[in-house]
Amino acid sequence: MTALRAPAVAALIVAASLFASAAARADEKQTCVAAHEKAQRLRIDAKLRAAKEQLVVCSRPECPVIIRQDCAQWMAEVNASLPSIVIAARDTSGHDVLAVRVTIDGVTVAEQLDGKPIAVDPGPHKLRYQTSGKPAVEEQILVREGERNRPMTVTFAPSAPATPSTTPSTPRADGAATADEEPAAKGGSPVLPILFIGVGAVALGAALFFDLKGNGDARTLRDVCAPNCKQEDVDGVQTKYVAAGVSLGVGIVAVGIGVTMLLLSPAAPKRATAGAFTFDVAPTRGGATAALGAAF
């Protein structure tokens, strides 16, 4: 029985080896087929660098003959179409700079320049160059299919000088204004005086209007009904005269205030701000009312 078991065990070992070898070949074939299909899609999408990686996989001797033939042909076409750039860097003196970090579309492709071409896919790309002590340089380029060893030269500008830090001015112990505060303290804002003068001009105009209107109405009454005019008509004329007098007084006061403020121009660290002024005169029975308002 022992003599019969030895050949059986050997047969099982051989069968297991054959099965394992067949399974490995099946896996290799599947890998080749997958790389073959993926390479086709990448070539169509113009992702030639990734396509080249897949073509290396499906060109191995382990792959079926027909797949190897396709991949070998496509590899030759990709190599002929794959663009490349050669990067050089200099400083403003024209000296070569070697310690340059290069990124293409956010992916680092070099930490040191060596003069060798760098393969890139056709299409637009954003390049960024960085070296110690210099501002980074960025540029957008369009690489054409089949464009080989395109020279790319970047010049690093000198580092920008450090700008002095600005510190807030410190008030002096004696309370005097510092140099930074002096321009602001030379005079107050002219807005407020101008507004007073404007309001005064409007009031003076209203005074002239009411006075002319009152004179006109008075002449009409003298020509039409004097001395037997109605009391209410007489009161209306008197009201216009009162309104003219009030407007005249407000106008003179407002203009006087504005002119005085302009002449004095008191120094003030803060600017006066005015929102709006309003002036209104309304005739009333037996007189008139005037209102001057301001919003700050």
pLDDT in tens, 15-24: 555 555 555 6
Residue range 5-32: mean pLDDT, rounded: 64
Asked if residue 167 belongs to a domain, the reply is no
Asked if residue 221 belongs to a domain, the reply is yes
Are 145 and 190 part of one and the same domain? no
Based on the structure, what is the number of domains in the chain? 3
Asked if residue 225 belongs to a domain, the reply is yes
Asked if residue 201 belongs to a domain, the reply is yes
Nearest to 241 by CA among 290, 289, 288: 288
Asked if residue 177 belongs to a domain, the reply is no
Domain boundary among 138, 156, 174: 156
Residue range 58-68: mean pLDDT, rounded: 93
The pLDDT tens digits of the residues spanning 95-136 come to 999 999 999 999 999 999 999 999 999 999 999 999 999 999
Q: What is the pLDDT of residue 112?
A: 96
Q: What is the pLDDT of residue 273?
A: 44
Instruction: List the structure tokens of 76.
Output: 């030759």
Q: Higher model confidence: residue 149 or residue 179? A: 149
**How confident is residue 5, by pLDDT bands cut at 50, 70 and 90?**
low
Q: What is the pLDDT of residue 188?
A: 59
Asked if residue 16 belongs to a domain, the reply is no
Asked if residue 210 belongs to a domain, the reply is yes
Domain boundary among 156, 176, 196: 156
Q: Higher model confidence: residue 104 or residue 224? A: 104
Nearest to 119 by CA among 41, 70, 50: 50
Domain boundary among 156, 176, 197: 156
Are 251 and 281 part of one and the same domain? yes
Are 209 and 273 part of one and the same domain? yes
Is residue 228 scored above 50 in pLDDT?
yes
Domain assignment of residue 59, given as a range: 21-77
pTM comes to 0.46
Rounded to a whole number, what is the largest CA-CA distance in the chain?
Answer: 163
